[in-house]
Structure 1
């Protein structure tokens, strides 16, 4: 008895489904579009997060570059170079008697 009721119920369900094919098709399209929208929204979020990470890395690199430029300028100052030449290397400015002029023939 239960098998007969189940088979009749299945027949009624398939009959109704065939009767409303267009509605069922629209429902299926709606579900597909909803899944597609969710997928693209997730991809968009991931790309925005990746962009933020890259922008932060760019800012960090830019800051390090500025610090390196400041360090280079401070190390290349004339007074510092002259002080190292005198103290560490024992160099001194030549006098006019010690100067030698070289000319090319």
Structure 2
């Protein structure tokens, strides 16, 4: 009696693939693994590109702020402005170095 043996379909397919289809199975696994790696690499590349773009925008903003601070420092550090502010707001007077020695000695 030839038809009395019962085999499960997954077992028969798996046995046939292992006996006659090793190269196609290996190729299929290699293709799937490479596809997953390509998708992962593309995702990471997009994330890094977005991060780089954000850092470039941040750098540009900091560069603009730095230039504004230099301009502000130059404007505030101008000697004539400092002298005018000291005279007008603080009512300070310019001291002659010769008179300073007299005041210190007294």
Q: How much has 1:96 moved relative to structure 2? A: 7.9
Deviation string 1:13-47 (CA, Å, 9 cap, x unpaired) is 23431211111111111111111111111111111
| Residues paired across the two proteins, number | 97
Q: How much has 1:94 moved relative to structure 2? A: 3.7
Correspondence for 2:85? 84
Correspondence for 2:13? 13
Distance (whole Å) between structure 2 residues aligned to residue 86 and residue 63 of structure 1: 33
Correspondence for 1:41? 42
Distance (whole Å) between structure 1 residues aligned to residue 14 and residue 95 of structure 2: 108
Cα pair distance change 1:11/1:86, threshold 3 Å: closer
Cα pair distance change 1:86/1:17, threshold 3 Å: same
Q: TM-score, normalised by structure 2?
A: 0.75
Unpaired stretches in structure 2, ≥5 consecutive residues: none
Distance (whole Å) between structure 1 residues aligned to residue 98 and residue 15 of structure 2: 118
Greater shift, 9-18 or 48-57, is seen at 9-18
Secondary structure of 1:73's aligned partner: helix
Distance (whole Å) between structure 2 residues aligned to residue 28 and residue 100 of structure 1: 94
Unpaired stretches in structure 1, ≥5 consecutive residues: none
